Structure 1
Amino acid sequence: MLICVTQRKLCQENFLYRIQQLAQAKPYAVLLRERDLDLPSYERLAWKVKAICDRYGVLLILHQNSTVAEKMKLTHLQLSLPALRAYQKGVHSLLVGASVHSVVEAEEAQALGAAYIVAGHIYATECKKGTPPRGLSFLRQVCQAVSLPVFAIGGITSNNAKEILESGAKGCCVMSEAMTCQEPAVLVHEFATATLPVVCNHKG
C-alpha cells in the first residue's frame, strides 16, 4: 500500500495539479500534512484535496486536525503519539493512525486504540538531517511487537520498498519524491510493482 504524504512547498508546479496527478495513478491514500497552515487554511485546502481524491476513489487522510476530519465526515486521521493520547472521539468514528519512533511507542499506540502505525524514519532522509535512521531492524521489531498494520516512512523509494515489505510492513509512506518527481503516475506504478502494497509520502 502506498500513502502519498504532502508538502506543498516542495512542489515546483501547482499543488492541486500534483495531487490530481497522484490520485489518477491510484495510490492507497493521500495524507494531507501541511503543518504550517492555520486551521481555517488547512480546512479550505482539505476540501479541495478531498474533491480530487473523491473523483478518483483515493482515500484522504488528514493530519492532526480531528475536528476538520469529523466535519468532513472522513474515515481516517493521522496523529502524533502525544495527540493520540489526548484524542477524544467525536460524533464520527475515525480510524486513527499513530506516528511512532520506538517499539515502546508502537505498543502504547496499539493500547490507545490506534488502527494502524506509521513508523520511522527508516532510511536517511533530508527531512531528518543529523538524526540517524532507525533502519530495517527497528521496523522488524515494531512489526513483531504489534498486531496493527505498520507503514514505514523515511527515505523510502521504489528501489528499497520490497525490503520494507519483507520486514513485515503493510506499506510505505513517501513524501519528497511524491511531491517532486517528474512523472507521478510512474512513481505510483513503480511502488505498486515493487511492493504490491505501498504508501506514497514525503521522505520524512
Structure 2
Amino acid sequence: MDLSLSLLPVGKPYLEALEQALIGGVTIVQIREKVADTAEFLQIAQESKALCDRYNVPLLVNDRIDIALAINAHGVHLGQSDMPVDIARKLMPKGSIIGISCNSLDDVRRARQSKADYVGLGAVWDTQTKKLTSPPIGVRGLGVLLEALDGSDIPATRLLHGSVSSTSHALDGVAVVSDIVASPNPETAARRLKSIFKACKRCILDSSAPTSVWSRGEILDNVTTIMDGVRNLNPLVHQMTNNVVSTQSANITLAVGASPIMATAPEEMSDLSKLSNGLLVNIGTLVSGSVQGMLRGGYFVNAAKNPVVLDPVGVGASDFRKASVNELLNAWQPTVIKGNAGELAALAGSGEATSKGVDRQLARKERCIVVLTGETDYVSDGKRVLMLKNGHPLLGKITGSGCMLGSVITAYCAAANALESDDDEHEGKLTRGGDFLSAAVGA
C-alpha cells in the first residue's frame, strides 16, 4: 500500500492509531480503501475488525460488500453511486447496519424510502481527506437536509466535522477522519471531540426544555457580573469592522474595560485567534478582499470556542452583501447577530422585523442570540425576548452608534465566556443562551 499520502503522523502505524482512537471513545469505525488490491484490503479489514471487537465497537466497510461479508463486519456504508440499499440489504446478514451518504434533498428522500439505518450528511466543508464528488453543503445546507429527516427515526451523522443544526432533527453523530487519525495523539483527539459533541447534544436538550422566566433582579445581577468581568479580565476583542468608525469602536472598547485589536489580513487569523477573547465581524465597508479574512477569522475563533458577533450592516443593500453574509454564516457559527429591523429582515428573507417575529425566528434558525436595534431594542435567544427602551433620537444623528454597540457586545460576550470557561458543563458549546443573552442585554 502506498502510504505517501497517509493521514497518519510519521512513525505511527495504522493499527496503533486505530486502537488509540478506540480507547479515546470512538463509538463506530468505518474503513475505506480505494487504492489497495483486494487481498491487501482484506488483511487490513480483518485486523481492524479484530481490534474493534476487542473494544466492542462496530466496524463498517465502505462500499465493499464482499470485504464486509468476508470479515463478518457489522455493516457497510454506501455512496450514491454504489449498490442500492435494498439490494445490499438482501446480500448482508440480517441485522447488518447499512448507511448511505446524502448530499441533496433527493438523496435524503431516497434514503428514507429505502429505510437506510443511518445517513451521512455532507461533506459540510471542503476537505483534503478525499476528492469530493459533490460540492460541500455548508452549515445551512446541513440544516436543510436535517429538516428533510424530520418525522423519521433515521439517525444522521455529519461527514468530516461536527456541530449541531438548528432543526428539530438533531445530529446523532459526527464522522471524522483527519482530526483524529492525523493527530499526534488520536486518543486525546477522540476524547476532545466526544466531549464537544456531548456538549452540543446538551444544547439541543436544553433548547427543548421549558424556559425559565427571568426576573428583573436576575437580569441585573447577571449583567452586573459581566460588567465587572469586563473590567477585571480586560478581554482582548478582535474587530474586523467598519473603516468609517474603527477609531470610535476601539475607543468604546477601551472605555468599557476591554482591549481592542483591529486586524483584517487572512494570514493573521490563526495567530490572532489564539490571543483574542472574541471577534466582531462588521460588514459596513465590505470589499471582496475582506471576506476571506472574515471567513478565516470566524473559523479559527469558533475552533477556539470564543464568541463571534456578526453585524450585517446594510446586508439588504446589494447582492454582494447578501452573498457574503450567507457565505460567512455557512462557514461558522455566530454567537450574536446584531442589526436593525431592515438588516435582520433581509437576513431572514422576511418583509419586516418585529419584536415577536424575525428576531426570535432568526435566533432559532441560526441558533444564536439576536439583537434587534431601534428606538426600542429587542434581544432574543429564540425562546425569550427582552425589551430595552434605551433609544434616543440623537443616536440617529451620529455615525457609528450601532457599530460601537457591536464592539461593546463582543467585549461583554468575551467576558461572559471567560467567566464560564472553567465550567465543564459548557465544554464545547459555541453559544450559551443565558450567558450571552445577559451579555447582549448589558451592552
Pairwise TM-score range, normalised by the shorter structure? 0.7 to 0.9
2:36 matches 1:33: no
For 1:126 and 1:34, the matched residues in 2 are separated by 15
Q: Does the residue aligned with 1:164 lie in a helix, a strand or coil?
A: coil
Give yes or no for contact 1:97–1:117 (8 Å, CA) kept in 2.
yes
AA partner of residue 68 (structure 1): I
Letter in 1 for 2:7: L
2:182 counterpart (180, 183, 193):
180
Q: Which residue of 2 aligns with 1:133?
A: 136
Q: TM-score, normalised by structure 2?
A: 0.39
Distance, in Å, in 2 between the alignment partners of 1:30 and 1:39 is 19
Within-5 A mapping of 1:140-179: 140-146=143-149, 147=152, 148-154=154-160, 156=161, 161=162, 163-164=163-164, 168-179=170-181
Provide closer, same or farther for how the CA distance between residues 143 and 91 of structure 1 changes in structure 2, counting only shifts above 3 A: closer
Q: Which of 188, 191, 197 does residue 189 from structure 1 map onto?
A: 191
Other structure's SS at 1:151 match:
strand
Give the gaps of 5 or more residues in structure 2. Answer: 201-443
Q: Shift in Å at residue 52 of structure 1? A: 0.9
- Amino acid corresponding to residue 136 of structure 1 in structure 2: V
Provide TM-score, normalisation by structure 1: 0.80
State the superposition RMSD in angstroms. Answer: 2.4
The residue number in structure 1 matching 2:6 is: 9
The secondary structure found in structure 2 opposite 1:125 is: coil
C-alpha distance after superposition, 1:83-130 (max 9, x if no partner): 24273422612221001211111111221231100111112323458x
Contact 2:143 2:165 in 1 (8 A): no
Which has the bigger relative contact order, CA under 8 A and spacing at least 6? Answer: 1
For residues 17 and 140 of structure 1, do their structure 2 counterparts lie closer, same or farther at Cα, with a shift above 3 Å needed? same
Where 2:81 maps in the other structure, the secondary structure is helix
Aligned pairs for 1:34-49 (under 5 A) are 34-49=33-48
Q: Distance in 2 between matches of 1:21 and 1:194?
A: 18
- Flag the structure with larger Rg: 2
Please list the CA deviations of residues 30-88 of structure 1 after superposition, one character each: whole Å capped at 9, or x if unmatched.
11012212222211110001111111122211111112212322222101122242734
1:53 and 2:52 matched: yes
2: CA distance between counterparts of 1:66 and 1:189? 31
1:178 Cα offset (Å): 1.6
The 3-state SS of whatever aligns with 2:101 is strand
Taking a change above 3 Å as real, the CA distance of residues 54 and 64 of structure 1, as seen in their structure-2 partners, is same
Residue in structure 1 matched with residue 111 of structure 2 by the alignment: 109
Contact 1:84 1:98 in 2 (8 A): no
| Residue 82 of structure 2 corresponds to residue 72 of structure 1 | no
SS at the partner of 1:121? coil
Indicate if the aligned counterparts of 1:75 and 1:95 stay in contact, CA closer than 8 A: yes
Residue matched to 1:5: none
Deviation at residue 197 of structure 1 after TM alignment: 8.6
Given that 2:49 and 2:73 are in contact with CA atoms closer than 8 Å, whether structure 1 keeps it comes out as: no
Instruction: Give distance in 2, aligned partners of 1:179 and 1:195.
Output: 18
Code of the residue aligned with 1:76 in structure 2: it is G
Which secondary structure state, in structure 1, belongs to the residue aligned with residue 91 of structure 2? Answer: coil
1:27 CA displacement: 0.7
CA spacing shift, 1:91–1:186, aligned 2, 3 Å:
closer
Residue 132 of structure 1: how far off its partner (Å): 5.1
Structure 1 spans left out of the alignment, 5+ residues: 1-7, 199-204
1:14–1:177 distance in 2 versus 1, CA, 3 Å: same
Match of 1:99 in 2: 101
Aligned residue number for residue 118 of structure 1: 120
1:146-171 Cα offsets, whole Å, 9 max, x none, are 221111013x2xxxx3x336552111
Q: Deviations over 1:5-39 (max 9, x none)?
A: xxx82112211111111112221111101221222
The aligned amino acid for 1:90 is L
Q: Which moved more, 1:166-175 or 1:9-18?
A: 166-175
